[in-house]
Structure 1
Amino acid sequence: MRGEQTGRTPRVPVTALFPPPPSAGVPGDPGVCPGEQFRRVTAERVTVLGGPAAILLQIAHPLVAEGVAVHSRYAEGPARRLVGTLQAALTVTFGDTGQAHAAARHVGRAHAPVRGTTRTAVPGTPAGTPYRANDPDLALWVHATLVWTARRVTERYAGVRLTPAERERHWQESKPFARMFAVPDRVLPQTAADFDAYVRTTLAGLVVTDDARRIAHDILTQRTTPPLPGAAAAARAVTADLLPSPLAAAYGIPRTPARRAAARALRTATTTVRPALPQRVALWPHALVAARRGPHDLRAALSTA
């Protein structure tokens, strides 16, 4: 089984967790995701803390878990795959039009072969249920996990509290990003309130399968070089803090008193330090490159960061 390969998982250089920005791009090209609020939230480097939680939300959908278990190779280097996903998302959000489309096409080619039928039955999903990575409903759930997690991380770990109007803008401005990853308008919730209702409804129907638990274990026990003592424990604490409690418990990372305390200490540290950090530290370099490329609205939005 894939989970049994964890002991042989290659170590990942810590530098791999800090992907470099793309080239400057075409001057004045706003890219495909020009919305200030969406890019303002995505620009926060602290969003990397939500990567494992977003993946665990995705694979709690049995059809997503089946596709990842059969077609992916997370056990051979889960952190590298997370970094690749992060790089694609940052390039689509902050790259120029050509860079964004190239990144989305690369992801699309990787997803094209991911299709099949489920091997075993789980509650609500009979054996033999067909799935494909570019199914609009599955693509919507993957997009929703990224939007929901980014918003939750920035509010809890960067102290960026969004007003109802800002939440609405954030959702509306995320739609061009969704379209780049095969999410058609017909399945996108119209408003932020509709989006929140969709997430609540979907969460109620999720099932954490054995495949999902194995994938989660590989993600949450990834090793680095040089070793980072306590990093895995911190990742589990943050992931438990971000996930809904029933899901965290289903993955075997319940919100124990120790995890609650660790997450609370990290939240206090990040929200206290964040206002004093220079932009080059607090924000992804992709955002700063986009701000220099123009137009100036992003530069103005980031100036408040």
Structure 2
Amino acid sequence: MTTTPVEPMLDHGFFGPGSVTWKVWGHVTAAVTGLQRSVVVEELDPALIAAVDQTGANYARPRTRYDRTVRYFAMVAFADSRKVAQAADVLVKVHAKAIGVEPVSGNHYDANDPHSQLWILLTGWHSVLKAYELYGGGRLTPAEEDRYWEECAVAAEFQTCDPAGVPRTRDGVREYFERMRPRLAVSEAARKMMDHLLTAKVVLPPAPRLLTPALWLVNWFLRAGTIATMPRWMRKLSGFTQPRLVDLLVRPVLRLGYGVVDGNPRLKLAVARLLAPSAVPIIAPYVLGVPPVSDEILTPAEARRRYGYDKPADAHRDIRAKQHQRVFADGQAPSDDGLLESQAVLGSLS
């Protein structure tokens, strides 16, 4: 059997060896429990669930949606500066489609809104860290955690949110979620979506009927493991009831399973190829230790100057204005142009 050659990155991107981002996001817990928790918690924001529910992508093509999500986050963490800058630019066009009227409040929502983007960023980075702490490498040192949130602020520059709004400490992150609590809600659509996203089977490829019991068991542990990372107030809001005994039961099982996979680079890539194939070319150089062409580590501002991209907050204002005109003035559905264009960068939609 031939092995596809691993193409090296052009540079180390924005973090590189020795970064806490590589340590945490490089663990197999990130792409499974971390991102599953992230997309579930995201739905607590009424504006975001309206955007997600309107597209229907999580129901129509859940594996594709998951694959593209893993690829994007993997790119920010591990890809070279050119790839990340391009992905950040095209993501603004993708989110330009996700606009409309939130049905509960009647307010307009826009996925490019800085507050929505900060919520997506922080739920992602916080969820990946929680999964790593419980089922991966354990608790970071205080200095590592402070550095982790400093690096999260770097990642904020690839979305429309303000990096200054990123908390830099564990207490700061906790305070952010406390401030958000009064704005969170669980509608019928949100509850249905969260339950759907907690089903690992939606991101697994079709399997023989013979494997059904095994898949049920895997799904049970992954679902319980994700719920176990959520604080009690969040579970209560979401309608998740899970005894503390189950929280304790799943921890050693998932730590063992993730540890086996994470300790074997080839197995790690095989699991990635099964769950999120488009992310494999992004993470393979990191997993296999393939050095980049250059040892450079850039800042987002340096990358924008080098490759000619605008800040995401300022990018494609004409496209975003046209989408607002189509939806809010003309009563039409938003254009799919940005979504279709994104396939070359974020992966296929089919």
TM-score (normalizing by structure 2): 0.68
1:181 Cα deviation from its structure 2 partner: 1.7
1:201 Cα deviation from its structure 2 partner: 2.5
Q: 1:146 to 1:234 in 2, by over 3 A?
A: same
Equivalent residue, structure 2, for 1:256? 243
What per-residue deviation string (whole Å, max 9, x for no partner) do you get for residues 18-73 of structure 1? xx9984222xx221344711221111112121222111111101111111111342
- Residue 278 of structure 1 aligns with an amino acid whose one-letter code is N
Q: After TM superposition, where is structure 1 displaced by more than 6 Å over at least 4 residues in a row? A: none
Deviating more after overlay: 133-142 vs 239-248: 239-248
1:286 Cα deviation from its structure 2 partner: 4.9
Deviating more after overlay: 34-43 vs 200-209: 200-209
Q: 1:220 to 1:287 in 2, by over 3 A?
A: same
Q: What SS does the corresponding residue of 2:69 show, helix, strand or coil?
A: helix
- Residue 43 of structure 1 aligns with an amino acid whose one-letter code is G
Q: What SS does the corresponding residue of 2:137 show, helix, strand or coil?
A: coil
**In the alignment, which of 225, 229, 233 is matched to residue 242 of structure 1?**
229
Equivalent residue, structure 2, for 1:11? none
How far, CA to CA, are the matches of 1:117 and 1:137 in structure 2? 16
- Write the mapping of 1:224-235 to structure 2, written as runs, cut at 5 A: 224=204, 225-226=206-207, 227=211, 228-235=215-222
Task: Compare CA radii of gyration and give the structure with the larger one.
Answer: 2
Q: 1:161 to 1:191 in 2, by over 3 A?
A: closer
How far, CA to CA, are the matches of 1:289 and 1:174 in structure 2? 24
Equivalent residue, structure 2, for 1:57? 41
Q: 1:190 to 1:169 in 2, by over 3 A?
A: closer
Equivalent residue, structure 2, for 1:285? 284
Contact 2:167–2:173, Cα closer than 8 Å, also in 1: yes
Contact 1:274–1:282, Cα closer than 8 Å, also in 2: yes
Contact 1:65–1:212, Cα closer than 8 Å, also in 2: yes
- Write the mapping of 1:46-125 to structure 2, written as runs, cut at 5 A: 46-47=29-30, 48-120=32-104
Deviating more after overlay: 187-196 vs 33-42: 187-196
1:250 Cα deviation from its structure 2 partner: 3.9
Q: 1:247 to 1:219 in 2, by over 3 A?
A: same
Q: Does 1:137 align with 2:115?
A: yes
Structure 2 spans left out of the alignment, 5+ residues: 270-282, 298-350
1:150 Cα deviation from its structure 2 partner: 1.0
Contact 2:135–2:258, Cα closer than 8 Å, also in 1: yes
Q: Does 1:173 align with 2:151?
A: yes
Q: What SS does the corresponding residue of 1:180 show, helix, strand or coil?
A: coil
Aligned residue pairs, count: 269
Q: Does 1:220 align with 2:203?
A: no
- Aligned-pair identity in percent equals 23
Q: 1:199 to 1:96 in 2, by over 3 A?
A: same
Q: What SS does the corresponding residue of 1:201 show, helix, strand or coil?
A: helix
Structure 1 spans left out of the alignment, 5+ residues: 1-19, 121-126, 298-305
Deviating more after overlay: 196-205 vs 135-144: 196-205
RMSD after superposition? 2.9
Equivalent residue, structure 2, for 1:5? none
How far, CA to CA, are the matches of 2:6 and 2:175 in structure 1? 36
Q: 1:219 to 1:179 in 2, by over 3 A?
A: same
